[in-house]
Amino acid sequence: MSKAKVIYIPEGSTAIQEKFINCMMHGGKKSISRTIFSNAMKIMRDQGIKTPEEIFEKAVLNVMPNMEVRAKRVGGSIYQIPVEVKPKRQLALSIRWIIGACRSKKGKTMAEKLSAELLEASKDSGAAFKKREDVHRMAAANKAFAHLARYNRR
């Protein structure tokens, strides 16, 4: 029998926010990651946004991909096959793309870059949202190979 995991979520935080903070963490420095996240929320409040937590949730939802391509070898050729993305992977990809977009920008603090990227993603723009659109476009372009998804499964 497996034991149920007890997950501690601090007061005023959601599971998605905690997952985001853990993914943003470098070298086990969770306190720094948490500070960056709270500073990003403060920056959004200073810009006149009353509920930055809702903006964060909306940004993560907007960046979540529905379809992606997976490489599959069929008869000596490798095809890019479009597949649906499972909910856990959707969240993981969304968080990864937002953090990656923030880290690729230069010249500002991480909190400033994070608040800017979250605002852009909530408005269906920005680097993370563009990554999602590219993945969807790639899946649509390879729709002809969708019938191979069920072929030769192991």
Q: Are 9 and 15 in contact (CB under 8 A)?
A: yes
Residue 81: helix, strand or coil by DSSP?
strand
Q: Which of 98, 105, 100, 99 is nearest to 122 (CA)?
A: 98
- Tens-digit pLDDT profile for residues 118-133: 999 999 999 999 999 9
Question: What is the domain partition of the chain in residue ranges?
Answer: 15-149
> Between 72 and 20, where is the model more confident?
20
- Tell me which residue of 145, 113, 142 sits closest to 128, measured CA to CA: 113
Mean local confidence (pLDDT), 87-115? 96
**Model confidence band, residue 57 (pLDDT cutoffs 50, 70, 90):** very high
Q: Which residue has the higher pLDDT, 10 or 29?
A: 29
Q: Count other C-beta atoms under 10 Å from residue 5's C-beta.
A: 5
Q: What is the pLDDT of residue 53?
A: 94
Give the SS3 label for residue 43.
helix
CATH architecture assigned to 15-149:
Orthogonal Bundle (1.10)
**Longest alpha-carbon distance in the chain:** 58
Residue 52 near residue 44, CB atoms below 8 Å: yes
Which helix H or strand E contains 139, and what residues bound it? helix 127-141
Task: Give me the pLDDT at residue 147, please.
Answer: 84
pLDDT of residue 11: 77
pTM (2 d.p.)? 0.88
Q: Minimum mean pLDDT among 3-17, 34-48, 88-102: which range?
A: 3-17
